[in-house]
Structure 1
Amino acid sequence: MNRKSFLTTLSVGWVAFAAATGGFFTVLIRFLFPNVLFEPPQSFKIGFPEDFEPGKVDLRFKKQYNVWIVRDDEKIIALSTVCTHLGCTPNWQETERKFKCPCHGSGFRSSGINFEGPAPRPLERFKIGLANDGQIIVDKTKMFKYEKGEWNRSESFLKV
């Protein structure tokens, strides 16, 4: 074997070794640092009761937490943004004062009660209460269903 063919063989060998080692380390790094799906916390603070105006639906938490905050004269509730028909996300229509699902036309009052379209039941509520610092805290791990009579539970609304 002459010098030229030896160096060519050596170069090809080193390139193959580097490619194999690089591939191994790429796989190793992907294994050690996987893509992690970020999920927002299930329990979160949304502010003080006086931050929410009576008769209004607060849309600030829809995108990040999938929650609408609704306040009337007596209470504050946290409604799920998931339509009970097929799981689409209704939109709040301020002029008509209702949630309207774009998928199949279900309509919900600001209280979450269904009144039109194919949705079989009202929207679900999340647990809501006051934290030690006086802020409202929403806990999405606990849901309340109207048809089971759970909306009467004190954890499903916050008296103001």
Structure 2
Amino acid sequence: MSSRVTTSESISLPGQKDASAGGFSRREFLGKGLAVAGWGVMFASLGAGLYQGIRFLYPAVVFHPPSTYVIGQLKDFVTDERADQYGVIFVDPKFKKDHRFFVVREAGRIYSLFARCTHLGCTVNWFEELNIFKCPCHGSEFHSNGVEFAGPAPRPLDRHHIAVDNGGNIIVDTARVYSKDEFEEQKIFIEVG
């Protein structure tokens, strides 16, 4: 009679999973890892699409500053100074930094000059000691009345609409820009005595 011995131990070969250890084979581990990565990519794509959809429904609002500014009253621009050779009594540069314009007081009128060079749009600076505007980018120069005399600028500085309201306030509208020819034709200045 032959006797058989049975054991509960199983022998595993290399590359074969051990069922009693509960581990994964390399093939199963790689398959499950790729599945998790695939689901992650899918959810990330869905999340990005959802984010874009919500942004579409609630667009970013761009802030537009007001285009009209009260610069003072006529009495603020009364002076007994003498005019230069171009008829300009003084140039007020205090509005250049925040609003990009100069207020010019001539012997008989007040107007606003856009502080943008007519060559390529750089911001011009006022040099009181020289009595001229200069463009720092390409060297254009303008007389105190805004007329170009040097550099590549093709025309004088543009002017803004200016008016006096019912309360006596001088208002400059930077949304309305005029060339020198339009400025003279339409009388876009305030006459003062």
> What are the within-5 Å matches in structure 2 for residues 3-152 of structure 1?
36-52=61-77, 54=79, 55-146=89-180, 148-152=181-185
Coordinate RMSD, CA, aligned: 3.2
Q: SS at the partner of 2:157?
A: coil
29 and 102 in structure 1: CA distance in 2 versus 1, 3 angstrom threshold: same
TM-score (norm 2): 0.63
**CA distance in 1 between partners of 2:78 and 2:151 (Å):** 29
Q: Which has the larger radius of gyration?
A: 2
- Which whole-Å deviations, capped at 9, do the CAs of 1:77-134 have from their partners, x for residues lacking one? 1110110001000100000001000001101112111111110000111111100100
Could you tell me which runs of 5 or more consecutive residues in structure 1 were left unpaired when the two chains were aligned. Answer: 1-22
TM-score (norm 1): 0.74
**CA distance in 1 between partners of 2:144 and 2:127 (Å):** 10
- 8 A Cα contact 1:70 1:79, kept in partner: yes
Deviates more, 1:104-113 or 1:33-42: 33-42
Greater share of residues in helix? 1
52 and 31 in structure 1: CA distance in 2 versus 1, 3 angstrom threshold: farther
- 8 A Cα contact 1:40 1:65, kept in partner: no
Could you tell me which runs of 5 or more consecutive residues in structure 2 were left unpaired when the two chains were aligned. Answer: 1-47, 80-88
- 8 A Cα contact 2:159 2:183, kept in partner: no
Q: SS at the partner of 1:129?
A: strand
Give the AA of the match of 2:97: K
- 8 A Cα contact 1:66 1:80, kept in partner: yes
| Percent of pairs with identical residues | 46
Q: How many residues matched?
A: 153
Deviates more, 1:115-124 or 1:50-59: 50-59
